[in-house]
Amino acid sequence: MWDRITHLHPSFVQNSHNADIAADSYHNYKRDVEMLREMSLDTYRFSISWPRILPTGMPNDINPAGIAYYNNLINELLKYNITPMVTLYHWDLPIKLFELGGFANPLITDWFEDYARIVFQNFGDRVKHFITFNEPREVCVLSDVMSMSIGAIEHSKLDEINDIVNYLCAKNLVLAHAKAYYLYEREFKPTQGGQCGITISVPWFEPHTDTPEDELAAELKRQGEWGLYAHPIFSSEGGFPKELSERIAKKSAEQGYTRSRLPEFTEEEKAFIKGSADFFGVNHYTTYLVSASVNKLDNNPIPSLADDIDVGLVDPEGWPQSDIGWLTLAPNSLHNALTHLNTKYNSPVFYITENGWSSFPETDLNDVDRVNYYRASLENVLDILDDGINLKGYMAWSLMDNFEWMHGYTQCFGLYHVDFQDPARTRTPKKSAFVYKHIVNNRYVDPTYQPESMTMTIDPGH
């Protein structure tokens, strides 16, 4: 669907950029693995594209070139003892399935299960860490934005249906996740011996003050942003979060609906979804301060998730801000998020599957702000481990600059700079790559370390 939108609606992306070539890992995957070796990394998380494997989205039409590409990448990683961690869905829905309603269509659970089976069959003999979905909240919220642009739904009509689409998507997505999880557990885990989990975007939402009103506002924000997807899987009671469910039911009644706009799970569905993950993947970037009264918007669409939660966000003072705008270097952000999740969801196994800093395209590769961010985050990781939280891995976002969705190539997260003007898409390490390598090799964060040169080499054994 991103191919469609960047060509039919180029203004949707900054500078009308498209992802036809992007960083061109299709042809440069050996260089990508070499970069991992240069930094002494032992794990690579990447996604498999549903439409690259199944162009129509359906299992009767398998693209052998897509299978071959991922086999080549996986084999290259294993050649150098680098563990592949594979995400099945990172927002690139086959356009034919999007036209059938995408995640608002309950049949998506069957379509995703069929796709997952093909992935497990073809790659599960070598891949032992599978992630079903990357960032369900973003999938469901961006579905509306994509509908607006691809389906030509006008803004006014979109505002009328967006909360309904979001909530249908939330239910169908977690059911699709559970179907894929139990498919793996039933048909593949006994022989392949791997694990299957899900990755959820978890910003930390801190109460602006310690008043009960702000505490509740922050909790509602957490439940609306990621609890909708984490709670059915990881909580002991299952189903959608209690306070948010009650708020949506109350608002729905006031607005004249005969039932809550948040669809209910049956008791069988709750039991089916609950516990359907071997690990909790966490994408974490930043913290927001949440208020029950300050900076509340008076123009939220009614009905909508934003109106259902009805809270405000307060800009913090003194937190360094990235070029992307929404990302700040907040104190103890990662530690606060993991501590909360660990307590709320009874100590699951965690992987930090994304964490990083954005900037405008660098010219001198001296990305000091990114260095500061990673040092602060990895100090948080040490604190998390000291607290006994079951954190099994950390993955930076991102190995290299990439097509950053609606920002195109105007925002960069990479440890390696990619020259998007060069047909070869040359990759060059930034200062952050050298600092990250030093942390990985030495297993501690040295705030004084400075690379002696900007030449990256592969250490013996990597």
24 with 62: CB under 8 angstroms? Answer: no
Report the interhelical angle of 155-183 vs 108-123 (nearest 10°). 50
Amino acid, single-letter form, for residue 352: I
Catalytic site positions: 135, 354
Report the interhelical angle of 242-254 vs 212-222 (nearest 10°). 90
State the pLDDT at residue 146. Answer: 60
Q: How far is it, in rounded angstroms, from Cα 338 to Cα 378?
A: 13
Q: How far is it, in rounded angstroms, from Cα 194 to Cα 131?
A: 11
Q: Which residues of the chain have pLDDT under 50?
A: 148-149, 151-161
* 45 Cβ neighbours under 8 A, 6+ residues apart: 85, 86, 87, 131, 353, 395
Tokens of 82: 């680098």
State the pLDDT at residue 147. Answer: 55
Tokens of 228: 């909708």
Q: 301: phi > 0 → left, psi -120 to 50 → alpha, else beta; which?
A: beta
Please report how many Cα atoms fall inside a 13 Å half-sphere around the Cα of residue 169, on the Cβ side. 24
Q: Nearest-CA neighbor of 130 among 351, 381, 337?
A: 351
State the pLDDT at residue 299. Answer: 87
Q: How far is it, in rounded angstroms, from Cα 80 to Cα 458?
A: 12
Q: Which long-range contacts (CB under 8 A, 24 or more apart) does 454-459 make?
A: 454/365, 454/429, 456/38, 456/39, 456/429, 457/38, 458/34, 458/37, 458/38, 459/40
* 299 Cβ neighbours under 8 A, 6+ residues apart: none
Give the three-state DSSP class for 46. Answer: strand
Q: How far is it, in rounded angstroms, from Cα 423 to Cα 404?
A: 19
State the pLDDT at residue 162. Answer: 55
Strands 312-314, 129-134: pairing is: unpaired
pLDDT per position as a tens digit, 211-245 = 999 999 999 999 999 999 999 999 999 999 999 99
Q: How far is it, in rounded angstroms, from Cα 370 to Cα 375?
A: 9
Amino acid, single-letter form, for residue 462: H
pTM, to two decimals:
0.96
State the pLDDT at residue 156. Answer: 37
